[in-house]
Structure 1
């Protein structure tokens, strides 16, 4: 009896797995994809690796951020982002919220 229940359960599981894997993929979204923008900021107040990590963490929390590279040696922060999800003002505010000053772009 236990064996027939086990076989029955196995057969149902395989049927469900086959049915789910046969689903057709959905068509990709027809919305245009925004191109990424790369911006480098001059940031005053970075003096160490911890400063770099703080800025990178703060900026990375924003939506649409694809890459953040802060460098205390040349006082720059390079950001690649999706302009449909965030903007330069939000990025600047995220850096300044961490206690650093954005003085422009080198």
Structure 2
């Protein structure tokens, strides 16, 4: 299953990498694609949406499902 969440506040490649690493740490995630220009992250796997949003926010960015 694939989910897309909105992510605000990414300004550089390091930001993309930080969000990607945060999402990869969520249980059930199998793949992550982060696009700062589109302000979104696409996540494959069976992770809980709230856990994904929480992980991005814990990394210092604003997220919504």
Higher relative contact order (CA 8 A, sep 6+): 2
Question: Same fold by TM (over 0.5)?
Answer: yes
TM, length-normalised to structure 1: 0.58
Q: CA deviation at 1:103?
A: 3.6
RMSD, aligned α-carbons: 1.1
- Structure with higher helix content: 1
Aligned structure 1 segments of 4 or more residues deviating by more than 4 angstroms: none
Cα distance change of structure 1 residues 103 and 87 upon mapping to structure 2, 3 Å threshold: closer
1:36-79 Cα deviation digits (max 9, x unpaired) = x2111111101111011001101101121111111111111000
Partner of 1:55: 19
Gapped regions of structure 2 (runs ≥ 5): none
Partner of 1:73: 37
